[in-house]
């Protein structure tokens, strides 16, 4: 006769806390969105002060004209 193994269904396991610092690692740890935005704003304002149009500034910086308008105003 074959022995029937009992499964673990219904048995509770002890709580095991997670290790700190777990989770997905950052792809670009040196990336700083705030710093990048500040640099974009400074360059957009400098171009705007030199009498460039918003469209020309957007083309120069490779940004959307609406984003340039929001940064400048």
pLDDT at residue 10 is higher than 80: no
pLDDT at residue 12 is higher than 60: yes
Cα 22–Cα 27–Cα 37 angle in degrees, nearest 5: 115
Q: How confident is the model over 30-46, as pLDDT tens digits?
A: 889 899 889 988 998 89
**Cα 61 from Cα 59, distance rounded (Å):** 6
pLDDT at residue 5 is higher than 60: no
Q: Give mean pLDDT, residues 15-30.
A: 82
Q: Give mean pLDDT, residues 9-16.
A: 76
pLDDT at residue 47 is higher than 70: yes
């Amino acid at each position: 006769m074959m022995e029937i193994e009992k499964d673990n269904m219904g048995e509770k396991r002890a709580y095991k806390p997670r290790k700190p610092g777990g989770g997905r690692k950052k792809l670009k740890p040196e990336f700083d969105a705030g710093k990048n935005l500040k640099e974009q704003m400074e360059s957009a304002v400098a171009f705007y002060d030199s009498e460039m149009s918003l469209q020309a500034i957007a083309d120069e910086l490779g940004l959307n004209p609406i984003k340039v308008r929001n940064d400048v105003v």
